[in-house]
Chain A
Amino acid sequence: MANQVNYIKLALPKGRLLPATANLLADVDLGFKGYTERTRQYRLKSTNLPYLSAKIFREKDIPVQVAIGNYDLGICGLDWIEELLLRYKASAVVKISALNYGDGYVYAAVSYKSGISNLDEFLARQRNWRIVSEYPNLAEAFALSVRLRRFRIFPVWGDAEVYPPEDAEIAILEAKNRKELEREGLLPLMKLLPTKAMIIASQKSLNSKDLASVLNCFTSNLDNKEFSLSFEELGRKKGSIESPPRAELKKVRLALPDGHQLPPTAQLLKRVGLNLSHYSVEALDYHPSVDLDWLDIKVIRPQDMPIQVANGNFDLAITGKDWLLDHVYRFPSSPVVELLDLGFGKVKVVVATTQEMPVSTIEEVKQLLQKGKLSTLRVASEYINISDKYLCDHHISPYKLIPTWGTSEAFLPEDADLLIDNTQTGRTMAEHNLKIIDTLCESTACLIGNKESIVSPDRKEEIDFLIQMLRGGLL
């Protein structure tokens, strides 16, 4: 019983901070077996402390999970803590201390090609600014603090550095240092905050539990400096950037996917004889060149494509039908249409729950709620709008949607009751002790386009040519 009272749950990061966090935990004798970059498990037990357990999350999920009180302690970058606190200042999360790793900053950066060399020059260009970022709240705080007169924020799943200058005037993004940005062709105008790793605690747990046995382990690894949001302007002499000749935007702009969909897309392009330099998993250029002089190609996340086609940044894109559907549910008047089913990358979007949950249909889930055996249904999903529509259509009430950024299956059963996710074979689901109770749709890769731009006289011919070319390569 005593153990139960003091049971402590820790949320640990994947990705950028994982190696250093794993080293730190090993150093302080809080080692967790299997906390490695290649792990396929999400739940970890401490090798030393029987009452300590951990779960692995994407960094951006950690402050939310700790604030809700699902986890007592968490380790993540200051950037994601501030991203939460900027919008929800009263979140019940407490910054305990910075750790001595995770160096880097969130920068506001423009492309070298824009010819802008400092913030004043940036502000002097009167226009409707497009801001691209994985941190929409930080992006808004930046826009308001420098008083942009009119701006639009495009939240993205990743690859923010690829967007400027053609598809955004400025990106708000994380980088180790200036040099790393420069390698991407970006010039930082402002440092918004350091991305230091931090230990955070749930306010509720601090009040009700004794966390000292765990927190004391870290005392020799703390960085006692204060780290906070700073909005520090990075100076540079006026006109110190030689403005390169403004590259004309090419006639037709195509977005290609990274990640899982990259290899089959590359194969398709090869079959139809479209030669791209460096579009492969081994050697990926996010702006690959192509032997058609009117075609410009960028590599971005499939999740971000529908919006980028809708807003006219791209004429065409190769993405999944699932992401198109999620977009259309949110924005019914969107000008994005499916032009071609490419057939590959087949997945099913399914509803799943743990084997232990005594239900086999969504109707039975609804009954659990009606009988009061479940007070609120917590649903984890990457597909916010598909999920919202599905739950409303089935009159599920009340429910809470937990947006995730991949690895949604890790949320069950502790942090969610239901999962709406894609699966190829159902094997990963079975491995995680999940059962499928409904199938929403099948999804394959498809070519999408902006219905206004595909009929525009100045590029209709080229777009038709591309569509025919891709059609010729279908198996």
Chain B
Amino acid sequence: MESRRCKGMRDLLPDDMRRFRYIEDTFRNCCVKWGYREVRTPNLEYLHLFTATGTLTPSKLGKAYSFLDWNGWSGERVVLRPDGTIPIARLYIENLSQQENARLFYVTDIFAFEQTGKENRERWQCGVEFLGGASPMADVELILLARELLHNLGIGEVELRLSHAGLAKALVKELGLNPRDEAEMLGRILDGDWQTWRKAKSNNLELDRFLASVVNFKGKLTDFLKKVELPSQASAELKSNLSDFTGIVRLLDDLKCDYWIDIAAIHGFEYYTGVCPQFFSRGEKIGGGGRYDELLSLMGSRSMPACGFAIYVDPVIKMLSLKEDACRESGVLVKASERTPEVMEVCFSLAQSLRNAGHIVELDLAGGRVSDYRWVVSVLVEGSFAIIDRKSGKKRKVSSLTQVVGMLGGVD
């Protein structure tokens, strides 16, 4: 049969949802312990929220699902949320700006107009934003929080790659391009086109050498400091961004947090201004984030530092191996030996008593597979009960409902 599902959209089946909920629950538990509070923003936002800051590249905005609302005669367009951070910044400005800072987290879907319709166009992420969190403490806090989360989820071989948007921007600025070419080049770099760096050339040999040493470097801080030599006429912006970066990395070294410096591998949003961590597992990107100190003032709020990250649910779901379904551990299937009113009444009463004791109980209506349950209880015509414990293989017959509940015991 031809699928009636919208192109690029996905159904999450019971097994997917079990993994999804597990990620969400683990994420929530983690965030709450670090003092973060959960928020949720609407799916629809005005398009101008995203264009007004000038902080999403044209290629990202070109992929936003935008359309006219019912009052669209004014020409105002709305979009399905194309980004997680900007709506959170709006939420903070509108509702929480009396607070000096806000530690917020969310589970949300992001929509991207994807050309072929083969890839997923609704992507879920677990995001954290620390509004008012200044460098380097807040950056390190988020990196450690993300690592703890990935550890608690049981994701193996996690690799942390570090880049710095402020440093990348300062480097591009040194090339002395006109503003529009500079914006275009930055756009390509932030869209993940690292080849762009190769073509970057200035008129200054010392600067070119510095540029090459920074973008080609992959490794630890000690080697980075040895290999990267700041040019004599480096701008103040370049110097301060470099020192911000090394400050954060040094702190990570002190905390024995493993990482990999890779400035060229930056892939993020134009609103990023500082360190940009990205998380990989077995070569696949599973999360990322960055510092965005200018976003809130561009959105009309007072200037304040901020940073955030998100873990991408879709790749992580595939990496999870979950233990057995709870149903197989302690689930009960109640079978009626005959469909008489008396027997059915007993079935419902028994099921309710077992649920009250904490069991997951299903009534057998249409040939449930007994292998999906720990216990199978048959209600017999004469009013007694046959019990099979599928774990031990033991069979027993008892005569009262209370005995059944007693035998199966309670579940916490």
Partner-B contacts on A (CB < 8 A): 86, 89-90, 130, 140-141, 143-145, 147-154, 306-307, 310-311, 327, 330-334, 336
Interface contacts beyond A141-B62, A150-B52, A152-B77: sample of 16 additional A-B pairs, CB < 8 Å, sorted by A: A90-B115, A90-B117, A130-B75, A141-B58, A144-B58, A144-B62, A147-B51, A147-B58, A149-B53, A150-B51, A151-B48, A152-B75, A152-B76, A306-B73, A327-B73, A332-B70
Within 8 Å by CB of A311, from B51, B52, B66, B73, lies: B73
A311–B74 touching, CB < 8 Å: yes
Give the distance to chain B from A57, nearest Cβ to Cβ, in Å: 25
Q: In the complex, what residues of A have CB within 8 A of residue B52's CB?
A: 149-150
**Cβ-based interface call for B203 (8 A):** no
Within 8 Å by CB of A89, from B51, B61, B115, lies: B115
What CA separation (Å) do A254 and B75 show in the bound complex? Answer: 20
Within 8 A of A (CB), among B102-159: 115-117
**Cβ-based interface call for B232 (8 A):** no
Q: In the complex, what residues of A have CB within 8 A of residue B68's CB?
A: 330-331
Q: In the complex, what residues of B have CB within 8 A of residue A153's CB?
A: 75, 77
What CA separation (Å) do A221 and B292 show in the bound complex? Answer: 55
What CA separation (Å) do A150 and B77 show in the bound complex? Answer: 10
Give the distance to chain A from B114, nearest Cβ to Cβ, in Å: 9
What CA separation (Å) do A144 and B270 show in the bound complex? Answer: 14
Q: In the complex, what residues of B have CB within 8 A of residue A143's CB?
A: 51
Give the distance to chain B from A191, nearest Cβ to Cβ, in Å: 16
CB nearest to A91 among chain B residues: B115
Query: How many residues on the B side are at the interface (Cβ–Cβ under 8 A)?
Result: 22
A145–B58 touching, CB < 8 Å: yes
Q: In the complex, what residues of B have CB within 8 A of residue A144's CB?
A: 51, 58, 61-62
A310–B74 touching, CB < 8 Å: yes
A331–B70 touching, CB < 8 Å: yes
**Cβ-based interface call for B14 (8 A):** no
What CA separation (Å) do A310 and B72 show in the bound complex? Answer: 10
Within 8 Å by CB of A152, from B62, B74, B115, lies: B74
A–B Cβ pairs within 8 angstroms, 11 of them: A86-B62, A90-B115, A141-B62, A143-B51, A144-B58, A144-B61, A144-B62, A147-B54, A149-B53, A150-B48, A150-B52
What CA separation (Å) do A145 and B61 show in the bound complex? Answer: 10
Q: In the complex, what residues of B have CB within 8 A of residue A149's CB?
A: 48, 51-54
What CA separation (Å) do A144 and B58 show in the bound complex? Answer: 5
Q: In the complex, what residues of A have CB within 8 A of residue B117's CB?
A: 90
Q: In the complex, what residues of A have CB within 8 A of residue B116's CB?
A: 90
Q: In the complex, what residues of A have CB within 8 A of residue B48's CB?
A: 149-151
Q: Please give me the 6 A-B residue pairs with the lowest Cβ-Cβ distance, nearest first.
A: A152-B75, A310-B73, A144-B58, A89-B115, A150-B48, A331-B73
What CA separation (Å) do A89 and B54 show in the bound complex? Answer: 24
**Cβ-based interface call for B204 (8 A):** no
Within 8 Å by CB of A148, from B51, B53, B115, B183, lies: B51
**Cβ-based interface call for B71 (8 A):** yes
What CA separation (Å) do A140 and B74 show in the bound complex? Answer: 16
Q: In the complex, what residues of B have CB within 8 A of residue A150's CB?
A: 48, 51-52
Chain A interface mostly: mixed
Q: In the complex, what residues of A have CB within 8 A of residue B72's CB?
A: 330-331
A333–B71 touching, CB < 8 Å: yes
A307–B73 touching, CB < 8 Å: yes
Give the distance to chain A from B331, nearest Cβ to Cβ, in Å: 40
Give the distance to chain B from A227, nearest Cβ to Cβ, in Å: 21
Within 8 A of A (CB), among B72-93: 72-77
Contact with A along B37-56 (1 / 0, CB 8 A): 00000000000100111100
CB nearest to B62 among chain A residues: A144
What CA separation (Å) do A150 and B66 show in the bound complex? Answer: 14
A154–B51 touching, CB < 8 Å: no
Partner-A contacts on B (CB < 8 A): 48, 51-54, 58, 61-62, 66, 68, 70-77, 115-117, 183
Within 8 Å by CB of B70, from A130, A151, A333, lies: A333
A154–B58 touching, CB < 8 Å: no
What CA separation (Å) do A145 and B77 show in the bound complex? Answer: 17
Q: In the complex, what residues of B have CB within 8 A of residue A336's CB?
A: 73
What CA separation (Å) do A73 and B48 show in the bound complex? Answer: 39
Within 8 Å by CB of B73, from A140, A141, A145, A334, lies: A334
Q: In the complex, what residues of A have CB within 8 A of residue B66's CB?
A: 140
Give the distance to chain A from B122, nearest Cβ to Cβ, in Å: 18
B115–A154 touching, CB < 8 Å: no
What CA separation (Å) do A147 and B116 show in the bound complex? Answer: 26
Give the distance to chain B from A457, nearest Cβ to Cβ, in Å: 23
What CA separation (Å) do A147 and B75 show in the bound complex? Answer: 17
Q: In the complex, what residues of A have CB within 8 A of residue B58's CB?
A: 141, 144-145, 147
Q: In the complex, what residues of B have CB within 8 A of residue A307's CB?
A: 73
B51–A151 touching, CB < 8 Å: yes
CB nearest to B55 among chain A residues: A147
Q: In the complex, what residues of B have CB within 8 A of residue A333's CB?
A: 70-71
CB nearest to B71 among chain A residues: A333
Q: In the complex, what residues of B have CB within 8 A of residue A311's CB?
A: 73-75
Q: In the complex, what residues of B have CB within 8 A of residue A327's CB?
A: 73
What CA separation (Å) do A396 and B375 show in the bound complex? Answer: 50
What CA separation (Å) do A130 and B75 show in the bound complex? Answer: 8
What CA separation (Å) do A147 and B52 show in the bound complex? Answer: 9
Q: In the complex, what residues of B have CB within 8 A of residue A145's CB?
A: 58
Give the distance to chain B from A473, nearest Cβ to Cβ, in Å: 29
CB nearest to B46 among chain A residues: A150
Of A130, A140, A327, A330, most buried by chain B (CB within 10 Å of CB) is A140
CB nearest to A335 among chain B residues: B73
Give the distance to chain B from A49, nearest Cβ to Cβ, in Å: 36
Give the distance to chain B from A402, nearest Cβ to Cβ, in Å: 19
Give the distance to chain B from A276, nearest Cβ to Cβ, in Å: 28
CB nearest to B298 among chain A residues: A149
CB nearest to B54 among chain A residues: A147
Give the distance to chain A from B22, nearest Cβ to Cβ, in Å: 35
What CA separation (Å) do A140 and B71 show in the bound complex? Answer: 19
What CA separation (Å) do A152 and B68 show in the bound complex? Answer: 10
What CA separation (Å) do A435 and B216 show in the bound complex? Answer: 72
CB nearest to A142 among chain B residues: B58
What CA separation (Å) do A152 and B58 show in the bound complex? Answer: 16
What CA separation (Å) do A154 and B52 show in the bound complex? Answer: 19
CB nearest to A128 among chain B residues: B48
What CA separation (Å) do A228 and B116 show in the bound complex? Answer: 21
Q: In the complex, what residues of A have CB within 8 A of residue B75's CB?
A: 130, 152-154, 311
Q: In the complex, what residues of B have CB within 8 A of residue A152's CB?
A: 74-77
Q: In the complex, what residues of A have CB within 8 A of residue B183's CB?
A: 147
CB nearest to B60 among chain A residues: A144
What CA separation (Å) do A141 and B72 show in the bound complex? Answer: 19
Q: In the complex, what residues of B have CB within 8 A of residue A154's CB?
A: 75
What CA separation (Å) do A147 and B68 show in the bound complex? Answer: 20
CB nearest to A123 among chain B residues: B180
Of A144, A153, A154, A336, most buried by chain B (CB within 10 Å of CB) is A144
Q: In the complex, what residues of A have CB within 8 A of residue B70's CB?
A: 331-333
CB nearest to A328 among chain B residues: B73
What CA separation (Å) do A331 and B67 show in the bound complex? Answer: 13
Give the distance to chain A from B19, nearest Cβ to Cβ, in Å: 30
Give the distance to chain A from B368, nearest Cβ to Cβ, in Å: 35
Q: In the complex, what residues of B have CB within 8 A of residue A332's CB?
A: 70
Give the distance to chain B from A424, nearest Cβ to Cβ, in Å: 29
Q: In the complex, what residues of B have CB within 8 A of residue A334's CB?
A: 71, 73
CB nearest to B49 among chain A residues: A150
Q: In the complex, what residues of A have CB within 8 A of residue B53's CB?
A: 149
What CA separation (Å) do A90 and B115 show in the bound complex? Answer: 6
What CA separation (Å) do A151 and B77 show in the bound complex? Answer: 9
CB nearest to B61 among chain A residues: A144
CB nearest to A310 among chain B residues: B73
What CA separation (Å) do A149 and B62 show in the bound complex? Answer: 14
CB nearest to A168 among chain B residues: B75
What CA separation (Å) do A310 and B399 show in the bound complex? Answer: 77
What CA separation (Å) do A148 and B51 show in the bound complex? Answer: 7
What CA separation (Å) do A310 and B75 show in the bound complex? Answer: 10
What CA separation (Å) do A336 and B74 show in the bound complex? Answer: 12
